[in-house]
Amino acid sequence: MLGGVWLGLLLLFSQPVWADAAGQAPRISRDAQVLYCSLNWPTDVARLRQMLRDGIALVVRWDLSVARARRYWLNERIGDVEVVRRVVPDMLSHRWLLEDRGSGIVRSVSSLAEAVRFLTRLQHYPVVDRSLLQSGQTYVLDVSLQMYEGEAMDNWWNRWLRKTAFATQVVFKEP
């Protein structure tokens, strides 16, 4: 019990902040109704793999925000999406439990590479309904990522104090 408290305090106060250089820009794709985003987090994959092998659960939080670009004023926020993914290692069965907090889907995989991809890659992820976008208008897609060990810190102070590990953006024009 005390060990858990200690570990919790440790994780609370010693939450490392992952900061990587701005990587590649997100790729935008569309269908008739939805705007999608694909993006890789260019991080130290070997480190992630080692942590997962050591049984440390990892959580990544992607924040995707679409705003209408305005030249002489602040951008107008159109919508934002939060993607929280967690990988929990099961060291006894050599499997990885992949949790998507947004959809509630939980999968168990035996491939560590898949678990790492689950954390570091957004593939064709729906961001915003295109009915909210205007044709010919310029928009900015901001993407930021935070990473936590153990559990995602959803407390208000943690949200306030959290430090972005990765951020990028892309400016696109709605056809």
Partner 1 sequence: MRLDVMRFLPLIMALALIGLAALLWPAAQGGLIMAWINVGILLVLALLLLQYGVRLLRRRGEPPPGSRLRAKLVIAMVGMLMVPSLLIQLSASQMVERGMDVWFDLRVDTLLERALKLAQGFYDRIDADMKRGLRDYVTDPTLIAAVGAAAPFGMANVRLLEILNKEGWDRIQLFDINERMVADVRRDGLIDVHPVPLSDAARLVMQLGTVSTEIMTEDGAEKAVGYAPILGHKGGVGLMRVELHLPQGVIRSARLVEADYQSYRALEHNRHMIKDLFANAMLFVTLVLVMLASLLALWFARRLTSPIGELAAALHRVTDGDLNVAIPESSQDELGSLARSFNQMAERLRQNAAAIDKAQRDLTHALANSRQRQYILETLLANLHTGVLLIDARGAIRLLNQSLHEILPETVDWRPGMAFRAHCTGALAFLGEFHDGMRGRDEAALQRQFDLAGRHVLVRGARLELSGMAEFSGELIMVDDITELVSAQRHQAWAEVAQRLAHEIKNPLTPIRLSAERLQRRFRDQVEARDVFDSCTHAIVTQVARLQRLIADFSSLARLPRPKIERVRVADIMRDMRELFNAYAGVRVVQPAEALECHCDADQVRQVLINLLDNALAATGGKGPVTLEVREHGPWVEWHVLDDGPGVPEEIRQQVFEAYFSTKASGSGLGLAIARRIAEDHGGELVLLSPHRPTHFCFRLPRTPRQVEE
Range 130-159, binding partner 1 (CB under 8 A): 149-150
Helix (H, G, I), strand (E, B), or coil: what is residue 130? Answer: helix
Between 17 and 132, name the residue whose CB sits nearer to partner 1.
17
d(CA 126, CA 30): 9
Q: Which is nearer to partner 1, 75 or 144 (CB)?
A: 144
| 138 sits in which H/E element | strand 138-149
Site for partner 1 in 86-115 (CB under 8 A): 89-95, 107-108
Q: Does 13 bind partner 1 (CB under 8 A)?
A: yes
Torsion of the alpha carbons at 172, 125, 54 and 105, rounded to the nearest 10: 160
- Indicate whether 124 belongs to the interface with partner 1 (CB under 8 A): no
Which range touches partner 1 (CB under 8 A), out of 50-58, 68-76, 117-125, 134-142? 50-58
Instruction: Please name the residues in contact with 83: beta carbons below 8 A apart, sequence gap of 6 or more.
Output: 61, 62, 63, 64, 100, 102, 122, 125
Site for partner 1 contains 15 (CB under 8 A): yes
- Give the number of other CB atoms < 10 A from CB of residue 55: 11
Which one of residues 7, 106, 132, 171 is an interface residue with partner 1 (CB under 8 A)?
7
Site residues for partner 1 per CB under 8 A: 3, 7, 10-11, 13-19, 51, 54-57, 89-95, 107-108, 149-150, 161, 163
